[in-house]
Structure 1
């Protein structure tokens, strides 16, 4: 979390947020990258996830729209971590911090199953990839009938915000704008573009009985469906220091199986799959900018230093993490 947010986040805010939803909360966060995420329990020991979002990250209405979309998906058969209303019958509660900013609190089901840890885990196989593709295809099929909302931004607004922060490196910034311009020229249709999850990598779902339960719709934006598929390939390749040849071989196979699962729910033309490296290039730019923002004014751990160095080199070379 950014330093300015850390300074105003308190135990009192956490406890009051939990009280609004009638749950008890563990004080050790499950995550704190862009939101504070905590394990919580109801009176009957039912597990939940309590999320606190700072007003510098999302507006109240943006979060309301996210949860409305999430509720719609669940109602129509998608396996997602459903949102719950507070004691005041609200999906989102607001608490003011000492500096006048706000934290927005939301409660979700704790997804059934377990996280897939990495490419070395026993379940990292074709069965998972097929289920992964099928789950994303279902979300894309459902989003085609979801009413347009003005309270979730488009991909370009989101990406330009990050690229604009890279002012200290004009070359990097210019390449970011180039990638955005290329994607902007892609055709937009109801069949290929809509409100999507935006970040379905292996840490944003739990897996059980060959099914995914997806969570963390914080990055839900109006975007090309290709983006969701590209994120799987991107984060799969990011996990290992593989040779270029091995990355390509793995990505080709993974995509083949993902597509088989995806097409049980929704069909995309071959031309859409040809754009995947472009979306992976854009993710490099976005991830680099997000990490630099997170550690601004703080010491960056060695892992993130190594990660950003690799990303930086790819961006300047105008190469995707996987190309074929």
Structure 2
């Protein structure tokens, strides 16, 4: 947790009262809610090296571009000196602060028909379709400050080079090799959200507002669609068995792509790649746990150990992950 002094500096930068701060989460970033002039905002504090400031400036530039052209997204706000980021140092660490208008509405709820179902899936796809259409004509304001391109994992953890974990790693490398060989052009590849899942948008009546663009990269549009679908299956499938998840994935994509194609075209070749990208996203989830793992299996939760065993069994039997075994 950052110090009260640093939070006070952030409050001064963005012009709000520090006692309005409410802590929300601390995973990749430290996130707070605050109020200013009867409006709610989000403060995000990222512990990153100073060179990363350019990446965050590129992020907020793209979000601003999208909002200006009609996308419902959490708009970044400026500091008192008209900057979109504020940089602080504390105990030899660099913290980059950004602030955004808080999205109206609520998170999804798969047990509430107003917050989960075909109309939401359609609107979700429509929003992504608009974003992909707009990214085709987007040029970064600063050529030296751009988001990264998709790349392979730098996996040098020795504990993943042996035993059953090696099976996961080899499957990841195989999928990465397939993805790296795919063509790139402006009709299939551009700046994407890269994490547009159900906990990164709010639902307000018939609209959704997307936020949390800090994973945005230059990547394939089909990958962005696959990420949304994968997370929809994880958290929104009506049942946990394989058949239910595969059936749900197909129904979800039928609605999602109907909304998507209202605004952006995607060649059939790329639509057919979505299940492969879903498989890749599923596999990546294990390395979020394991990338910095110290080899002590006692440090893995029972859920993680069970999930790893199930994943290895699927890989060894030549099957895709649940939800990915669909034809498009």
Q: TM-score range by the shorter chain?
A: 0.7 to 0.9
Q: Of the candidates 252, 255, 272, which is equivalent to residue 254 of structure 1?
A: 252
Q: CA 1:189–1:317 in structure 2 vs 1: closer, same or farther (change >3 Å)? A: farther
Shift of residue 173, structure 1, vs aligned partner: 2.5
Which runs of 5 or more structure 2 residues have no equivalent in the other structure? none
Superposed structure 1 runs of 4+ greater than 3 Å apart: 24-28, 292-318
Structure 1 residue 34 corresponds to structure 2 residue 34: no
| Structure 1: stretches of 5+ with no match in the other structure | 1-5
Partners in 1 of 2:260 and 2:8 — Cα distance?
A: 41
Is 1:93 aligned to 2:86, yes or no? yes
Instruction: Indicate the residue corresponding to 2:149 in structure 1.
Output: 154
In 2, are the aligned partners of 1:285 and 1:315 still within 8 Å (CA)?
A: no
Change (3 A) 1:97 1:166: same
Question: Do the aligned partners of residues 286 and 89 (structure 1) sit closer, same or farther apart at CA in structure 2, a change above 3 Å counting?
Answer: same
- Of stretches 176-185 and 142-151 in structure 1, the one that deviates more from structure 2 is 142-151
3-state SS, counterpart of residue 142 of structure 1 = helix
Q: Distance in 2 between matches of 1:37 and 1:311?
A: 32
Cα drift, residue 113 of structure 1: 1.1
Please, what TM-score do these two structures have when normalized by structure 2?
Answer: 0.86
Alignment-derived partner of residue 290 in structure 1: 288
CA distance in 2 between partners of 1:279 and 1:229 (Å): 9
- How far the C-alpha of 1:167 sits from its partner, in A, is 3.5
The verdict on how the C-alpha distance between 1:235 and 1:96 changes in structure 2, with shifts beyond 3 A counting, is: same
> Compared with structure 1, are the counterparts of its residues 260 and 270 closer, same or farther at alpha carbon in structure 2 (3 Å cutoff)?
same
User: Is 1:84 paired with 2:77?
Assistant: yes
5 Å-filtered alignment, 1:76-225, equals 76-98=69-91, 100-117=92-109, 119-122=110-113, 123-148=115-140, 149=143, 151-156=146-151, 159-161=152-154, 164-170=155-161, 171=166, 172-225=168-221
Report the aligned-residue RMSD: 2.5
2:275 to 265, 274, 277: 277
More off after superposition, 48-57 vs 125-134: 48-57
